[in-house]
Every structure is written in structure tokens, then in C-alpha cells.
């Protein structure tokens, strides 16, 4: 157990940016847990609405023993979560996005699951999805209804839960190291880092959280033609490939072959927006992921030849044009 850690305490870390009313609901869902040993750390990521931090302070004043709030220079969700993690005193860590909520019984069930399975690093359960019209879909969102023993290899192809779904042991978060300053796919990269450590899972077959869609701003929304977004994705997915190799995944694993195709696609997308260095780097990583045999396929050879003639940018644009003609 880490120095200064309080046994049994669940530390919930909530980054927030310009979401005062949603923050109230997120905090209320934590306070409503039937598990007593909790602390809530709100990290305001330099909200500009003049209201969010006031709401955070109000929540502190009415729940002095449970809630604390801090603010920081705007750094994105990963940096905000890391700020909160550094302040956390709990044996268990719960990350919660300010626009989502926890469901009753989550902490009791997941703490018990981790107690019963001491070799597990993370407990998870079923997440529901509420769409932007407010309709709650009462079936497992993504793959949260599937019981798995480890995070890899499945996490290589998708982050099949939401931020509120899992509860982590603080010790595994400490081993994984700090969140990056990425603003896109930072959560997937972080979970793949934990997966690389072994990422052993304990499953609770109950609903534990609700992921909410809405019409407001979300970092996950954006265009494939946004250079900044594609640069962030290029960094994140290169790191994810590194974590997969650390874990020991090889080209013989089907999930690695799927990821190789994903890297190849992202390489082309980066080329389209003029990120030539990133495009070349991802192409080479895709070849590594595919393995010696598959990386010699025709599409790799043709694309490589095209980059030698017209460069990475125009090779990417040509590939997009060809794909559209096929449709």
C-alpha cells in the first residue's frame, strides 16, 4: 500500500470544464453511494463560464468532510485527473467525467470484488447509455456486459468501457505513472498502460454507471481533417502500440492484426492533413504490428511506392480518393 493511503477509502476524481449543473449531478451520484468511506476531488480545468468553480466551492461547503475542489491552469482532462490523483488518499481510485453519473451500489460491489480477488487490479461492471434525447438504454454499453480476465488483448482494439465504469486499485495507478497531457484518446492510452502491467480484472454483473451523451461540447467530437486532433491521435496510438509490445502481444495475435490496419488508416489520415512525419511513423508502426509476412502485402507496397513519388500528404489524399471511388 502506498504511503499516506487510507485503507478502504474510495477517492473519486472529477475533472470539470464549464459544466456546473452536470457537475452537481455527478457529485450527487457519488454522495448517494451506500459505501461510507469516500472522498471527492473536483478539479476545475480553468472554467471560463464564471459559474463552474463557484458550484464546486458550494459543493465543498455543504459537504466539507467529503468534497474538496481545486483549480488549475487549463491542461485538459488527463492533466486534471492526474492533479486529482496526486491529492487522493484512497486505497481505490474512481475517475468520473463531469457529464456522467455513478449508479447506486457501485462502490460496495466493486470494493467487495477487489477484496475477493486480490490479484485483480481493476473492477468493472455494466454501464448504461443515455442518448442526447434523454432516453436511457438499459443494456450493456459497449462491451461492459462481457466478463473478461484481463484488459489485453481486447483493449488494443477498443476502449470497451467508459471512464466511470472501472474502479482501480491506487497501487496500479501509481505503477502506471502519470496521465499524459493528451486531450484526445488520453483515457485509452492510460488504460492500455495499466493493461501492459497485467490489467487483471474483477467483474461485477450489475449496472454501475451511466454514460450520457449531450449536445454540448465534447473533446471526443471533431473532424478527421482537424490537424490538431490527428496529431494527438498519432501520439496516443503510437504509445498504445508500445504498451501492447510491453505486454508481449505479437503479430500472431488477431487483435494486433486489427490494430495494424487501424494504424495504417490513421497513417493515411495524418497524410491527408499534412502530418507527413506522423504519417510515415505510423506506417512503419503498422508494418511492425502486421509482422514480416503481412507487411509485404500489396496495399503496403503500393502505398509505400506512392509516398516515394508524391509524398505522404498526396499519397494520403490519393488513398482517400480511391476509397471514395470504391463506394
Per-residue pLDDT of 24-43, as tens digits, reads 999 999 999 999 999 999 99
Q: Is the pLDDT of residue 3 over 70?
A: no
User: 125 near 112, Cβ under 8 Å?
Assistant: no
In the prediction, which pLDDT does 52 show? Answer: 98
In the prediction, which pLDDT does 322 show? Answer: 76
Per-residue pLDDT of 187-199, as tens digits, reads 999 999 999 999 9
259 and 170 belong to one structural domain: no
The domain in which residue 162 lies consists of 6-212
31 and 112 belong to one structural domain: yes
Average pLDDT on 231-243 reads 98
pLDDT confidence tier of residue 65, bands split at 50, 70 and 90: confident
In the prediction, which pLDDT does 222 show? Answer: 62
160 and 53 belong to one structural domain: yes
Average pLDDT on 160-168 reads 98
Q: Is the pLDDT of residue 1 over 80?
A: no
Closest to 263 in 3D by CA, of 297, 245, 240: 240
- Nearest 5°: CA angle at 219, between 215 and 227? 125
15 and 151 belong to one structural domain: yes
Domain count, the chain: 2
249 and 208 belong to one structural domain: no
pLDDT confidence tier of residue 221, bands split at 50, 70 and 90: low
90 and 203 belong to one structural domain: yes
Assigned domain for 240 exists: no
Assigned domain for 227 exists: no
In the prediction, which pLDDT does 57 show? Answer: 96
Average pLDDT on 165-182 reads 98
185 and 115 belong to one structural domain: yes
208 and 262 belong to one structural domain: no
Q: Is the pLDDT of residue 218 over 60?
A: no
Tell me which H or E stretch contains 284: helix 276-294
166 and 289 belong to one structural domain: no
Find the largest Cα–Cα distance for the chain. Answer: 66
Neighbours of 291 (CB within 10 A): 15
Instruction: Classify residue 222 as left (phi > 0), alpha (psi -120 to 50) or beta.
Output: left
Assigned domain for 172 exists: yes
CATH code (residue 152): 3.90.550.10
Q: How many residues does the chain have?
A: 327
Per-residue pLDDT of 263-309, as tens digits, reads 999 999 999 999 999 999 999 999 999 999 999 899 999 999 999 99
In the prediction, which pLDDT does 311 show? Answer: 95
Average pLDDT across the chain, whole number: 95
In the prediction, which pLDDT does 323 show? Answer: 72
SS3 of 11, please? Answer: strand
SS3 of 135, please? Answer: coil
| Backbone Cα Rg of the chain | 21
43 and 140 belong to one structural domain: yes
Final residue belonging to a domain, choices 160, 189, 212: 212
Assigned domain for 231 exists: no
Closest to 97 in 3D by CA, of 217, 197, 5: 217
DSSP notation for 295-311: TTSHHHHHHHHHHHHHH
26 and 114 belong to one structural domain: yes
192 and 268 belong to one structural domain: no
User: Which is more confidently placed, 321 or 315?
Assistant: 315
pTM of the model: 0.94
Assigned domain for 225 exists: no
Contacts of 221 (CB under 8 A, 6+ apart): none
Q: Hey, which residues does 127 pair with through a beta bridge?
A: 209
Q: Could you list the beta-strand ranges (E) of the chain.
A: 6-16, 38-44, 67-71, 90-95, 101-102, 122-130, 136-137, 167-169, 201-212
User: Which is more confidently placed, 178 or 221?
Assistant: 178
Final residue belonging to a domain, choices 196, 212, 228: 212
Amino acid at each position: 500500500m502506498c504511503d499516506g493511503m487510507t485503507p478502504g477509502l474510495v477517492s473519486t476524481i472529477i475533472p470539470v470544464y464549464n459544466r456546473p449543473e452536470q457537475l452537481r449531478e455527478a457529485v450527487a451520484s457519488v454522495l448517494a453511494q451506500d459505501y461510507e468511506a469516500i472522498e471527492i476531488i473536483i478539479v476545475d480545468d480553468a472554467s471560463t463560464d464564471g459559474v463552474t468553480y463557484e458550484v464546486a466551492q458550494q459543493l465543498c461547503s455543504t459537504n466539507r468532510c467529503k468534497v474538496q475542489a481545486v483549480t488549475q491552469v487549463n491542461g485538459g482532462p488527463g492533466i486534471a485527473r492526474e492533479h486529482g490523483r496526486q491529492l487522493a488518499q484512497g486505497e481505490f481510485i474512481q475517475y468520473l467525467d463531469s457529464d456522467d453519473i455513478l449508479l447506486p451500489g457501485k462502490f460496495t460491489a466493486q470494493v467487495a470484488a477487489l477484496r475477493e480477488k486480490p490479484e485483480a487490479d481493476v473492477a468493472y461492471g455494466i454501464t448504461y447509455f443515455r442518448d442526447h434525447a434523454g432516453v436511457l438504454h438499459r443494456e450493456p454499453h459497449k462491451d461492459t456486459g462481457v466478463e473478461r480476465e484481463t484488459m489485453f488483448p481486447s483493449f488494443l482494439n477498443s476502449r470497451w468501457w467508459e471512464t466511470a465504469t472501472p474502479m482501480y486499485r491506487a497501487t496500479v495507478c501509481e505503477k502506471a505513472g502519470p496521465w499524459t497531457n493528451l486531450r484526445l484518446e488520453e483515457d485509452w492510452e492510460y488504460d492500455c498502460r495499466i493493461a501492459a502491467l497485467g490489467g487483471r480484472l474483477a467483474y461485477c454483473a450489475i449496472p454501475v454507471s451511466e454514460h450520457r451523451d449531450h449536445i454540448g461540447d465534447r473533446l471526443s467530437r471533431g473532424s478527421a481533417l482537424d490537424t490538431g486532433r490527428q496529431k494527438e491521435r498519432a501520439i496516443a496510438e503510437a504509445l498504445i502500440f508500445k504498451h501492447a509490445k510491453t505486454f508481449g502481444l505479437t503479430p500472431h495475435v488477431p487483435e494486433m492484426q486489427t490494430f495494424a490496419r487501424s494504424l495504417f488508416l490513421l497513417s493515411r489520415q495524418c497524410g491527408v492533413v499534412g502530418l507527413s512525419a506522423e504519417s510515415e511513423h505510423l506506417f512503419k508502426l503498422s508494418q511492425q504490428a502486421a509482422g514480416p509476412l503481412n507487411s509485404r502485402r500489396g496495399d503496403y507496397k503500393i502505398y509505400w511506392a506512392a509516398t516515394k513519388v508524391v509524398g505522404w500528404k498526396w499519397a494520403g489524399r490519393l488513398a482517400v480518393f480511391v476509397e471514395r471511388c470504391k463506394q
